[in-house]
Amino acid sequence: MDKSIESIWKDGFAQERLTIPKINALYNQKSISSVEHVISRFKREIFFLFPIAVFVFTFNIILDNDNAIIWGLVGALPCLFWFLLGIKQLKSIVEIDYQANSYQYLVSIREKLDKIRRFNKALAISSIPITILPMLVYTYYNQKGKTISEIFGVSGLDWPTSTIFLIIPALTLVAWLIANHFFKREAKAQDKSIGTLIREMEELRS
């Protein structure tokens, strides 16, 4: 071959210059594609919550515990709450004005997603003790005098009933670890698409 890939590439740009309108059109399209990808991913995560709520409710019915329907509803309510919250957050992203400026649009989208992610992370962690505490209080007063082994049917845990409240810090820690992992992964995925595109535009603007 007489020409290297690099020289062919340079010659191609020399013969057909990239004008400002062409660059703007390219980045407008890339911006729309990136945001559509993020929105599509967000939608999948939101609508996955509905079958989880159905599973939690059904699982309680299958266990056939006392007040299974009530506890099934209690267990499913957080998933339904997150589902409705997610729909509202998705709408707030979609309604962001493009303003005929792909850079400002992407920056606005990134700021909105960062805000939603911080809020959801804090809510996910704090909702664990808030949701579990009423159940534990109910269990404590209805199972008072029994050991943990007798309450949960696990041998070897001859602890008094009051130790049931140790579940709260344990599950809150688990929620914190899971939330950190999940939202960190979300942040990396966002930075790979929208963040990279913003940095490319900033280099062109400098």
Which residue bears the tokens 């130790």? 163
Worst-scoring range by mean pLDDT, 33-47, 53-67, 161-175?
53-67
Question: Looking at the predicted structure, is the pLDDT value of residue 173 above 90?
Answer: yes
Measured torsion, CA atoms of residues 58, 64, 65, 68, in degrees rounded to the nearest 10: 40
Length of the chain: 206
Mean pLDDT of 188-199: 86
Q: Would you say the C-alpha torsion 56, 57, 63, 69 has a positive or negative sign?
A: positive
Would you place residue 14 in the very low, low, confident or very high pLDDT band (cuts 50, 70, 90)? very low
Which residue bears the tokens 């992370």? 121
User: What is residue 118's predicted lDDT score, i.e. its pLDDT?
Assistant: 92
Query: Tokens at residue 76, please?
Result: 């499913």
Instruction: Return the number of other C-beta atoms located less than 10 Å from residue 117's C-beta.
Output: 17
User: What is residue 15's predicted lDDT score, i.e. its pLDDT?
Assistant: 47
Distance in angstroms (rounded) separating the CA atoms of residues 68 and 57? 9
Distance in angstroms (rounded) separating the CA atoms of residues 46 and 40? 10
> Domain extents for the chain?
100-206
User: What is residue 73's predicted lDDT score, i.e. its pLDDT?
Assistant: 80
CA 65 to chain centre: 32
Question: Looking at the predicted structure, is the pLDDT value of residue 23 above 80?
Answer: no
User: What is residue 113's predicted lDDT score, i.e. its pLDDT?
Assistant: 92
Would you place residue 8 in the very low, low, confident or very high pLDDT band (cuts 50, 70, 90)? very low
Q: What is the number of alpha carbons within 13 Å of residue 138 lying toward its C-beta?
A: 10
Is there a contact between 168 and 133 (Cβ–Cβ < 8 Å)? yes
Residue closest to 106 by CA, chosen among 204, 199, 198, 201: 198
